């Protein structure tokens, strides 16, 4: 059974495709960016909870980002598609290439 976590009013779990809108500072500017991908892991409890999102970028290169759930830099998390998985960690997707890496069974 996959782990579920809640950020504000959005509840998501491992296997869901999410869109994370976050802010970051570049020199003297504060910029905002979205990162859309598959949640492959959720770790920790309470304040120490982190989640890992993986996407396939240009040239079929996998990119992963890890965020603390209670980070002030996360503005919004939106669930694009809900997935149904039987694993708590989807690290086996790292070995797959192209569209296979996004297919969750």
Structural domain that includes position 68: 4-86
**Residue 70 belongs to a domain:** yes
Q: Residues 11-39, buried b or exposed e (16+ Cβ, 10 A)?
A: ebbbbbbbebebeeeeeeeeeeeebebbb
**Residue 102 belongs to a domain:** no
pLDDT (tens digit, 9 = 90+) per residue, 53-85? Answer: 999 888 778 889 999 988 889 999 999 998 888
Residue 2 has pLDDT above 70, yes or no: no
pTM of the model: 0.85
How big, in percent rounded to 5, are the helix, strand and coil portions of the chain? 15, 50, 30
In the predicted model, what is the mean pLDDT of the chain?
A: 87
**Residue 94 belongs to a domain:** no
Give the CATH number of the domain where residue 67 resides: 2.30.30.790
| Predicted local confidence at residue 1, as pLDDT | 42
**Residue 93 belongs to a domain:** no
**Residue 92 belongs to a domain:** no
**Residue 23 belongs to a domain:** yes
| Predicted local confidence at residue 62, as pLDDT | 85
**Residue 24 belongs to a domain:** yes
* Tally of domains in the chain: 1
**Residue 63 belongs to a domain:** yes
């Amino acid at each position: 059974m996959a782990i579920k976590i809640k950020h504000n009013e959005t509840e998501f779990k491992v296997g869901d495709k999410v869109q994370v809108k976050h802010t970051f500072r570049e020199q003297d500017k504060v910029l905002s960016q979205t990162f859309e991908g598959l949640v492959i892991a959720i770790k920790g409890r309470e304040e120490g909870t982190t989640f890992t999102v993986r996407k396939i970028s240009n040239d079929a290169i996998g990119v992963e980002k890890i965020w603390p759930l209670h980070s002030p830099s996360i503005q919004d998390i939106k669930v694009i598609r809900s997935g149904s998985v039987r694993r708590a960690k989807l690290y086996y997707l790292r070995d797959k290439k192209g569209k296979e890496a996004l297919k969750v069974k």
